[in-house]
Amino acid sequence: MYKEFYGFSEEPFTLNPNPKFLYLSPSHHEALSAMMSGIKEGKGIVVITGEAGVGKTTLIYALLKDLSKKIKTAFIFQTRLDFRDLLKNILRDLEVPINEKEENISSFLLEFRRHLNERLNRDETVTIIIDEAQSLDDEVLRDLARLSSPAPPATKSPQIVLVGHPELEVRLNSGKLRPLKEQVAVHREIRRLTREETRKYIKHRLKIVGADISEVFTPEAVNRVWEFSEGIPRVINLLCDRALLNGYQTSSPIIDSKIAKETIKDISSPQPRKSGIFREVFNQVRFHYKIIGILFIFLGGLGFFSLFPRDSSLSILKVMVNLFPSTERPMGTGGNILPSGGQPIMKKGTIPISEERPPEKREGEIIEVKKGWNLSLLALHYYPVVNTSLLDFILEANPEITDSNLIFPYQKIKIPKIIEESLLIKGSDNNYNIHLGTFDSTPDVHVYKDEPLLRGKKLTVVPRRVSPRETWYRIVLGGFSTKEEGLKTIQALKEKRLLPLLDCLPKKPS
C-alpha cells in the first residue's frame, strides 16, 4: 500500500518470518552459529531460548535455508501434541511412509530407527527442529531424551534443536527433566535489541528494499520505536509498518517523532470495531482519507435513511459504499459466488445477507493476554492445532479485536469452545449454511466443488478483512433447510478431513 509512495521494492516490516530480512545482532549470530555447529558436529541436543517476538522462528527459517542436502530435517511448530502424534509429524516431515493400520508409538519408533539407519549409511544426518518447545508436555520432553539416545544398531543419534520461550530453560532445570538437561550440549539465549541494534535493525530492513534510514525515519522516531518496542523485533515491525501506513495516508515523506508518537497511541489504545452499516463505510474511508468529506455527508444522511423502508435504505447504502472503490475488500462485505463448473466471480460492493451463529457457540473461557503473545501463540496454549480457520473463529468471538496481528498484554480474550455446530450459520431466510473453512490466500475451491457430498449446493468465497493490510477468505456452503441436515453434512465432511476448524479439536484419549 505504502510501498510505491516511499519507493520500496517490497514492504520491509512484514510480520511473517522471512530469512531474507534476517538481521544478526550478536545474540542472534551466536544462536544461529550454535544451531549450525551443533547439527553439523553432531553435538546432541541444542536449546535456543528467547522471549516471544525476538526472532526465533526467523532464525529457524534461516537455518533451514543454509543447511546442506546431507542434513535431512523435520520441522515441528505445532507442539500441543502427545509423543505419538509428535513422532507421526516427524515421520511425515521426513517423508517416511506411514502404515495407517499400525499408527502407534512402537511402529512409529521402528520406522524412525529404520529411516535413521538408512540415512547414516548414506552419511546423512537426521535433525529434528521443534519451535515453541516450551509447550511440550514433560512426558513428551522425557520421551525426546530417549529418542536422542543412540539405539542399536545405530551408532549415531538424531540431532534435536529445541527452540522456545525462557520458561523452557526453567523447566529443563527441574528434577523431572534432568535426563533431558544432561543431554543438552549447547544452550544460547536470544536477547532483545539495544537502542543501537534497533537502529541497525531498521536500517538493515530498509536497505534490503532499496531505501536509506535517513530518508525514511528521523532519529527521534527511531528512538520512540525502540522505547515502545523495548527491543522486540516483532513489535518494531508492527510499529514501523503502522507508522509508514500513517505516513502514507497523510502524504508525509518521512516518519518523524510526531507520526511515531501518534502511531504508538493508536496501537496502545485500540478502538472497538465499528458495527452495522457504519463498519462498511468506516473500513473504506480508512484508506481513502482524501474523500473523507463524503463520510460526513453519509453520516448526516443517516436520519434520512430512517424515512425509507429497509430495502430502500440498503439500496442507498450500496451506492454510498461504491463511492469508495478498493482493491481490498473490507471485513464482512461481498462474496465470490462459484457458478456450476466455473471459477469464482467477485460480486463487488454487495451487502451479505444477515447471518448469525447459534448463541451456544459463544461459550468459552475468558483469559488474559500475557506479554509477548500474539493471536497464534495464544491459540497454541488452548488448542492442539492452530490454523487460519481457528484464528478466524477466535476473532469472531472477540469483535473488539480489529487487527489479527495485534493483541495487548492484560487484554481479556474469549477462547470459544469448538463443537460441530460451531460451523453452522443461520441465514436471514432461516436456512442454514456451513462455514467450511477460512484461508489466508484465495482458496482452491475445487477440493470442495468436486466433493460428491456437496453437489447441488452453492459455494461462496467471502473476503474478510482481518487487519488494515490483510484479507482472509471464508468458504461458505449453502443452503440447508434444517439444522439437522447441516449437521449431518458436517459430520460427513469431518470424516473426510475437509473441515479445518475441527482439526483443532483436542484428541479424545484412546
Mean pLDDT computed over 122-141: 90
> For the segment 229-241, what is each residue's pLDDT rounded down to a tens digit?
999 999 999 999 9
With cell 479445518, the residue in question is: 500
Host H or E run for residue 485: helix 483-495
Mean pLDDT computed over 264-279: 53
376-384's contacts with Cβ under 8 Å and 24+ in sequence apart are 377/52, 377/132, 378/407, 378/413, 380/78, 380/79, 380/80, 380/132, 380/135, 381/135, 382/415, 383/80, 383/418, 383/504, 383/505, 383/506, 384/78, 384/80, 384/81, 384/504, 384/505, 384/506, 384/507
Mean pLDDT computed over 160-174: 91
Measure the CA–CA gap between 204 and 237, rounded to whole angstroms.
12
Query: Residue 146: is its pLDDT beyond 90?
Result: no
Residue 50: asked if its preceding bond is cis (omega within 30°), the reply is: no
> For the segment 53-87, what is each residue's pLDDT rounded down to a tens digit?
899 999 999 999 888 888 999 998 877 788 998 99
Cα dihedral angle (280, 283, 285, 288), rounded to 10 degrees?
Answer: -130
335 alpha-carbon distance from chain centroid: 23
Percent of the chain with pLDDT over 90: 31
Mean pLDDT computed over 7-28: 92
Please count the other Cβ atoms lying within 10 Å of the Cβ belonging to residue 266. 16
Measure the CA–CA gap between 24 and 66, rounded to whole angstroms.
15
Query: Residue 284: is its pLDDT beyond 60?
Result: no
Beta strands in 21-124 (DSSP E): 45-50, 71-76
What percent of the residues of the chain are helix, what percent strand, and what percent coil, each to the nearest 5?
Answer: 45, 15, 35
With b for 16 or more beta-carbon neighbours within 10 A and e for fewer, the 227-241 pattern comes to ebbebbbbbbbbbbb
Mean pLDDT computed over 462-485: 84
> For the segment 379-427, what is each residue's pLDDT rounded down to a tens digit?
877 787 788 889 999 998 888 888 888 888 778 888 888 888 889 887 7
Contacts of 165 (CB under 8 A, 6+ apart): 49, 50, 51, 52, 132, 134, 372
What is the SS3 assignment for 308?
coil
Mean pLDDT computed over 308-325: 39
With cell 477468505, the residue in question is: 473
Task: Identify the pLDDT of residue 289.
Answer: 43
Task: Identify the pLDDT of residue 155.
Answer: 53
Domains of the chain: residue spans and CATH: 23-190 (3.40.50.300), 193-267 (1.10.8.60), 276-326 (no CATH), 355-504 (no CATH)
Strands 458-467 and 335-338: antiparallel
The set of cell numbers assigned to 497 is 478431513
With b for 16 or more beta-carbon neighbours within 10 A and e for fewer, the 16-34 pattern comes to ebeeebbbbbebbebbbeb
Query: Residue 41: is its pLDDT beyond 80?
Result: yes
> For the segment 168-202, what is each residue's pLDDT rounded down to a tens digit?
988 888 888 888 888 899 999 999 999 999 999 99
Task: Identify the pLDDT of residue 286.
Answer: 42
The set of cell numbers assigned to 398 is 472477540
Which residues face 356 on adjacent strands? 426
Q: Which of 64-78, 206-220, 357-371 has the lowest mean pLDDT?
A: 357-371
